[in-house]
Chain A
Amino acid sequence: MNLYDLIFYLFAIITLISAALVVSSKNIVHSAFYLLFTFFGVAGIYALLGADFVAVVQLLVYVGGILILLLFGVMLTNRISNVELRTGSANVLPAAIGVGMLWGALTAVMTKTKWANVKSNSSDFTAPYLGRMLITDYVLIFELLGILLLIALVAAASIARREKE
């Protein structure tokens, strides 16, 4: 077992344990902070897979943006003064059984399938390649995503604004 494997298992354990705590924690603020560790672990897995740029984007966008947004959502939709931050779960047992079966089926598919295993051993930085692809082959998707983000920004502001009394 070499260093790569050790780091992989470390990040895998961080990711899965914190994800399990996210979905099972009673306190919603704790869930949000466990989600931080999940995103961090997933970023580590991206880095292990040679996707350095995506790992950095994961940290910037998820940890810096989406997580803060979720925390704002928690703070604005719960009465902090009442310490009513507990949130219930429903249908835990049927959901656990169903999701357990789904998990078993997925894992069986992932392990039984003979994947073509041609490991690309390029250890270059990926940012130049990704940038070149963004302005050549994928330029239409890139522009459309820019428009989509603008629309989402305007729509979110428009939905969430307070009505005039």
Chain B
Amino acid sequence: MLSVGLTHFLIISSALFSLGVYGVVTRKNAVMVLMGIELILNAANINFIAFARFGNFGHSGQLTALFVIVLAAAEAAIALAIVLNLYKTFSNVNIDEIDNLKE
């Protein structure tokens, strides 16, 4: 088995990305869709940091990964507020049953 290089990390991140997409398109619960999005963001972050390590870019890639983490935190807070509102309005958070913006 050849020693671990850039390609190994890229393969891990593409697998993680595919699992995240699978979670987003199959799960019914809105919170589960959020978890899928977090997986996708983590996969993108692995790519950023792998290229920062194996490319010749200094530390910019790691900084971009930090920015992505901040954006993920903001996104999770807003999305959960929206999910709570959905639950107040429809009494469930299954996104295949919610097809109205208003009651």
Contact = CB atoms under 8 A, between A and B. Distances in A.
A149 B70 contact: yes
Contacts of A77: 30-31, 83-84, 86-87, 92-93
Interface string A27-56: 010011001001100100110011101100
B101 interface: no
Interface string B76-89: 11101111111110
Contacts of A70: 31, 34-35, 38, 76, 80
Dominant SS among interface residues on chain B: helix
Most B C-beta atoms less than 10 A away, residue of A20, A130, A159? A159
Interface residues of B, number: 75
Nearest to A161: B81
A23 B6 contact: no
Contacts of B19: 16, 19-20, 22-23, 99
A15 to B, nearest CB: 7
A153 B26 contact: no
B69 to A, nearest CB: 5
Interface residues of A, number: 81
A126 B71 CA distance: 21
Interface in B13-59: 14-23, 25-32, 34-36, 38-39, 42, 45-46, 49-50, 52-56, 58-59
Interface of A: 1-2, 4-5, 8-9, 12, 15-16, 19-20, 22-23, 28, 31-32, 35, 38-39, 42, 45-46, 49-51, 53-54, 57-58, 61-62, 65-66, 69-70, 72-74, 76-77, 87-92, 95-96, 98-100, 102-103, 106-107, 110-111, 115-120, 126, 129-130, 133-134, 138, 141, 145, 148-149, 152-153, 155-157, 159-160, 162
